């Protein structure tokens, strides 16, 4: 069983922006030569998450609206009041709820995503950042 690890760095602008990762992840799998196994996608930040969506403009807009309504920005959050200059307490809460990782099986060298499923990174922070991701393939 082989384990192959890759690192991706993605420049993001924050404010619930979404970046599609499906092609770069698919390309890493193809380059690996592995045919069957599991792919883990992990973001190394507490104010960003990875998720599977139908990536089209309406869902992108609805996703941003969902997060803005579910966990709105609030200057009175304890993270903001206890840490001078911080304004991203809501970003941390969103990241906690959505989570930092996904696991996707692959068969015959292809991810087993459904027809409309796409892998995306969502950046909840309040300012631009470079996001670091780990892509780990376990298989044969």
104: enclosing H helix or E strand: strand 101-107
Tens digit of pLDDT at every position of the chain (140 positions): 999 999 999 999 999 999 999 999 999 999 999 999 999 999 999 999 999 999 999 999 999 999 999 999 999 999 999 999 999 999 999 999 999 999 999 999 999 999 999 999 999 999 999 999 999 999 99
Measured distance CA(34)–CA(139) in Å, rounded: 6
pLDDT of residue 16: 97
Question: What is the pTM (predicted TM-score) of this model?
Answer: 0.96
Q: Which residues contact 128 (CB under 8 A, 6 or more apart)?
A: 11, 12, 13, 14
Sign of CA dihedral 10, 128, 64, 85: positive
Residue 109 confidence (pLDDT): 98
């Amino acid at each position: 069983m082989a384990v192959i690890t890759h690192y991706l760095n993605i420049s993001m602008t924050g404010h619930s922006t979404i970046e599609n990762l499906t092609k770069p992840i698919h390309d890493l799998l193809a380059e690996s030569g592995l045919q069957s196994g599991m792919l883990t996608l992990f973001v190394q930040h507490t104010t960003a998450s990875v998720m599977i969506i139908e990536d089209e403009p309406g869902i992108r807009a609805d996703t941003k609206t969902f997060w803005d309504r579910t966990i709105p920005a609030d200057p009175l959050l304890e993270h903001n009041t206890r840490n001078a200059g911080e304004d991203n307490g809501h970003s941390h809460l969103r990241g906690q709820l959505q989570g930092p990782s996904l696991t996707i099986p692959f068969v015959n060298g292809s991810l087993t995503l459904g027809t409309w499923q796409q892998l995306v990174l969502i950046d909840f922070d309040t300012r631009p950042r470079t996001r670091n991701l780990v892509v780990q393939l376990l298989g044969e």
